[in-house]
Structure 1
Amino acid sequence: MRMTVIGTGYLGATHAVAMAELGHEVLGVDVDQAKIDLLSAGQVPFHEPGLSELLGKHVATGAVRFTTSYEEAGAFGDVHFIGVGTPQKRNGHAADMTYVDSAVEQISRAATHDCVIAGKSTVPVGSAARLQELALTSAPSGTRVSLVWNPEFLREGHAVEDTLRPDRMVLGLEYDDAGRPTSAAQAAEAVLREVYAHQLEAGIPFIVTDYATAELVKVAANSFLAIKISFINALSEITETVGGDIRTLADAIGLDERIGRKFLNAGVGFGGGCLPKDIRALRARASELGLDQSLRFLAEVDDINLRRREYTVQLAVQECGGSLHGTQIAVLGAAFKPESDDVRDSPALDIAARLHSMGADVRLYDPQANANAAQRYPRLDYVASLDAAVTGAQVTLLLTEWREFRDMDPRHVASLVGTPTIIDGRNVLDPAAWQDAGWRYLALGRRH
């Protein structure tokens, strides 16, 4: 099929390349000419394992191309995927729909034939119905534009696999007053089934529902994950006070199949461009609907998450004798998670910046995210290797669980630091191995 992907950031670029891998002809659309030039040259402007190889492959064959022209996109595509951002508004917690609204309006206006718009961006519930009306009023007379909502569930660091072989797919359709898909929606569903024919043949679950349910799936999933992370971090506040091992506690409750072990990892908390933004946007939307009390608990989920950052900072201050002035601190990690260079709302980078603001000489190393981190906090001392970061450090903080950090040799690192004190902000190191190597080992969720 011939399709466009509007927005070539993390979501859009990955989706465009994955659709080409599935055999479709794809045109990526973005207003950023520099980004278009980079992608057209087969270069990915962010770190995502496996994506650059697929991009180079399909740029070479012509299966995927990139443009800034909505007119070209409107004439080319039978399906238009919307993958632009919905950032948090500057003056509140609600999602900013400016880019989504603009993309829908412009591609509808540029359409030269009947087509389907498939929204993938994470939007407030109620948006799709409004956007369908916007598409209909923007499209040329005689051109039918049908809108469906098809949320993405990709994880940074696993985005290619999650797009090609997702654990589920969801499609939201316009329903009539009787609670059934309209005839136009049924035709659009048939088109999306053709788009995802390979996945459907592989037996991947395909849930077809109404607009509102489809819009809620992504924010509901992210909010639930945030709850799980903050729950184990709340318990870690208790184990730090009364004693106990948060990892063993997580293992024990994780064996309950109703709970599961995933996302029960106590540490400095979650970050990135999705979970923090989505739980705040969901609360804001509930408030707009007059349902403030329904999701009030998400405010505490957010607070618990942020408290872990402050606790980590105070732990470092404590280990430095109560003052950070003139101390040298090694921070290992800037990205919000491993296998990514994304530093949006990163706990690691936030903690590093706070330590610097309190007078510490912070040397930071991340295998992929140094450049992005330096754009946000240029005053930190970014170094090119783990050894350079830890040399002479009075305290070492592991804040992003890259394999390079998980596999550190404690004896080698001990030979470089000024003081062998490490704060394991992700609970991924073997305490016994580090203590045997002469380290003072501290981790969140343990009594110190």
Structure 2
Amino acid sequence: MRDEVLAGTRAAGFGRDVVVIGGCGHVGLPLAIALADRGASVGIYDISRAAVDLVNAGRLPFEEPGAADVLARVVAAGRLRADVDPGIVSSAEAVVVVIGTPVDEHLNPDQTAIPQALSGSIGHFRDGQLVVLRSTVFPGVTALVEKTFVEHGLSVDTAFCPERIAEGRAMTELFELPQIVAGRTARATGRAARLFRLLTEQIVEVTPEEAEFAKLFTNVWRYIKFAAANQFYMMANDRGVDFERVRHAITFDYPRAADMPGAGFAAGPCLFKDTMQLTAVTDNNFALGVSAMQVNEGLPLYLTTRLERTYDLANLKVGILGMAFKGGSDDIRSSLSYKLKRVLAFKAGAVLCTDPHVTVDAALRPLDEVLAEADVLVIAAPHAEYRSLVTDKPVVDIWNLLGNGVVV
């Protein structure tokens, strides 16, 4: 199958098989690496010169287990090259666009962001290309992108093939998870399916509109489950009951509750944003999604209130352990650890922050300094490094990393 796909690309007269727009990020780069490792000739277009230079040197701009050695290998083999010049877009038969639908300061999605971004580089697209939208989009954006190409007189096939990976598992899940493929025509769907069969034989074909909702529903479903767990945690905690002991009783050898998550910060660049997108789809009548947002976004406030009731917070230093949005990650996008920091900065005597993975925040302190100076500790991100934490200071551990329960 790989030889069939790549031979077809070369026969079409393109110098590369694939170019990934936005390909130096957490979604685009693992995909580019994986395709290159399966034999494709891959280009990356990204506006970050620093990230492009790192990739071309065979180095990752962020942490992703299992990706570093593969990146170095495909760069050395000449199968992957990044560039800040949008002209690279014209070199490939397939163009994968990793640009999502953002939400503004009022939590409204900007449905025109992707078409506008593509319009800025429209002169670099060519007739006969396959254009694949990869990030989450607002329902109807795929059709709007198709219209954009038609209005510019371009004959391209467009498909929406949403990414399904979790950060930290990309180099496994790209090859193991079924790929949703959605084209308006049989030709567009077939071309996209052939491309992603370089990674997996499991292809699920739907319409673009079905795929758009499938991606949103997936992320929002996770967000709602986390909200339910966090609400249960608050209910139990307010009565002095350890939610983790309750959850163990519920889930132990009982399959109907096996997917109940533990409490913790539900954050990152997708779950909250996509819940707000789905809220906009329903003309702001998605009460379940809004409630989930209130619960999840309210957890840092809740923990601060509990600390105020237990300690003389105004005269104490609080140490926050973990500023990434999830355990084992260096990604701080939409991290609720920073919301906790802002709230505590108003309530506590001082706030000290640390993280073993994050490198972009110059205000972070080494762990040993935070442990020495803080009066109270909060494990905000469940990094494995904290499992062996030894301290005589009180620890708020909603993840139960230390195994001492989650009561605050």
TM-score, normalisation: structure 2: 0.89
Q: State whether residues 119 and 148 of structure 2, in contact with CA within 8 Å, keep that contact through their aligned partners in structure 1.
A: yes
Residue 146 of structure 2 corresponds to which residue in structure 1?
132
Give the Cα separation in 1 of the matches to 2:51 and 2:226. Answer: 34
Match of 1:218, SS state, is: helix
1:257 Cα shift? 2.7
From 316, 337, 346, the counterpart of 2:335:
346
1:276 aligns with 2:272: yes
1:95 aligns with 2:109: yes
Query: Residues 277 and 404 (structure 1 numbering): CA distance in 2 closer, same or farther, change over 3 Å?
Result: same
Q: State whether residues 100 and 137 of structure 2, in contact with CA within 8 Å, keep that contact through their aligned partners in structure 1.
A: no
Match of 2:132, SS state, is: strand
Q: State whether residues 312 and 425 of structure 1, in contact with CA within 8 Å, keep that contact through their aligned partners in structure 2.
A: no
1:359 Cα shift? 4.3
1:147 Cα shift? 0.5
1:131 Cα shift? 0.8
1:253 aligns with 2:258: no
Q: State whether residues 193 and 200 of structure 1, in contact with CA within 8 Å, keep that contact through their aligned partners in structure 2.
A: no
1:394 aligns with 2:394: no
Task: Render the CA deviation track for 1:25-57: whole Å, top value 9, x for unaligned.
Answer: 101012233322222122222222222222211
1:215 Cα shift? 0.6
Which letter maps to 2:169?
Answer: H
Give the Cα separation in 2 of the matches to 1:25 and 1:124. Answer: 30
Give the Cα separation in 2 of the matches to 1:60 and 1:87. Answer: 35
Give the Cα separation in 2 of the matches to 1:282 and 1:427. Answer: 32
Counting only pairs closer than 5 Å after superposition, residues 45-444 of structure 1 correspond to structure 2 as 45-74=61-90, 76-90=91-105, 92-97=106-111, 99-106=113-120, 108-140=122-154, 144-165=155-176, 167-174=177-184, 185-201=185-201, 204=202, 206-254=203-251, 255-261=253-259, 264-267=261-264, 269-287=265-283, 292-293=284-285, 295-321=286-312, 323-325=313-315, 327-369=316-358, 371-374=359-362, 378=363, 382-384=364-366, 386-408=367-389, 410=390, 413-414=391-392, 420-431=393-404, 443=406
Q: State whether residues 172 and 214 of structure 1, in contact with CA within 8 Å, keep that contact through their aligned partners in structure 2.
A: yes
1:24 aligns with 2:24: no
Task: Render the CA deviation track for 1:231-278: whole Å, top value 9, x for unaligned.
Answer: 11111122123343311322333354344235x1113x2011011111
Give the Cα separation in 2 of the matches to 1:64 and 1:395. Answer: 47
1:187 Cα shift? 1.6
Which letter maps to 2:244?
Answer: R
Match of 1:372, SS state, is: coil
Give the Cα separation in 2 of the matches to 1:237 and 1:36. Answer: 44
Query: Residues 256 and 129 (structure 1 numbering): CA distance in 2 closer, same or farther, change over 3 Å?
Result: farther
1:372 Cα shift? 2.8
Q: State whether residues 233 and 243 of structure 2, in contact with CA within 8 Å, keep that contact through their aligned partners in structure 1.
A: yes
1:334 Cα shift? 0.4
Which letter maps to 1:248?
Answer: R
Which letter maps to 2:158?
Answer: L
Aligned-residue identity in percent: 24
Task: Render the CA deviation track for 1:80-114: whole Å, top value 9, x for unaligned.
Answer: 10102432213x22233455224433555323340
Q: State whether residues 328 and 382 of structure 2, in contact with CA within 8 Å, keep that contact through their aligned partners in structure 1.
A: no
Give the Cα separation in 2 of the matches to 1:421 and 1:112. Answer: 61
Match of 1:10, SS state, is: coil
From 13, 18, 23, the counterpart of 1:3:
18
Give the Cα separation in 1 of the matches to 2:243 and 2:84. Answer: 50
Give the Cα separation in 1 of the matches to 2:116 and 2:79. Answer: 26
1:160 Cα shift? 1.9
Which letter maps to 2:271?
Answer: L
Q: State whether residues 130 and 158 of structure 2, in contact with CA within 8 Å, keep that contact through their aligned partners in structure 1.
A: yes
Q: State whether residues 6 and 103 of structure 1, in contact with CA within 8 Å, keep that contact through their aligned partners in structure 2.
A: no
Q: State whether residues 35 and 198 of structure 2, in contact with CA within 8 Å, keep that contact through their aligned partners in structure 1.
A: no
Number of aligned residue pairs:
391
1:139 Cα shift? 4.2
Which letter maps to 2:118?
Answer: V
Q: State whether residues 324 and 358 of structure 1, in contact with CA within 8 Å, keep that contact through their aligned partners in structure 2.
A: yes
Q: State whether residues 272 and 343 of structure 1, in contact with CA within 8 Å, keep that contact through their aligned partners in structure 2.
A: yes
Give the Cα separation in 2 of the matches to 1:93 and 1:349. Answer: 19
Residue 435 of structure 1 corresponds to which residue in structure 2?
none
Query: Residues 425 and 247 (structure 1 numbering): CA distance in 2 closer, same or farther, change over 3 Å?
Result: closer
Task: Render the CA deviation track for 1:131-189: whole Å, top value 9, x for unaligned.
Answer: 1111222244xxx2011100001111112222232x22111121xxxxxxxxxx21222
TM-score, normalisation: structure 1: 0.82
Q: State whether residues 338 and 400 of structure 1, in contact with CA within 8 Å, keep that contact through their aligned partners in structure 2.
A: yes
Which letter maps to 1:251?
Answer: H
Match of 1:232, SS state, is: helix
Residue 49 of structure 2 corresponds to which residue in structure 1?
33
Once superposed, what is the RMSD of the aligned Cα atoms?
2.1
Query: Residues 397 and 200 (structure 1 numbering): CA distance in 2 closer, same or farther, change over 3 Å?
Result: closer
Give the Cα separation in 2 of the matches to 1:426 and 1:299. Answer: 24
Structure 2: gaps of 5 or more residues:
1-5, 7-16
Q: State whether residues 342 and 372 of structure 1, in contact with CA within 8 Å, keep that contact through their aligned partners in structure 2.
A: no
Give the Cα separation in 2 of the matches to 1:96 and 1:372. Answer: 27
Q: State whether residues 250 and 261 of structure 1, in contact with CA within 8 Å, keep that contact through their aligned partners in structure 2.
A: no
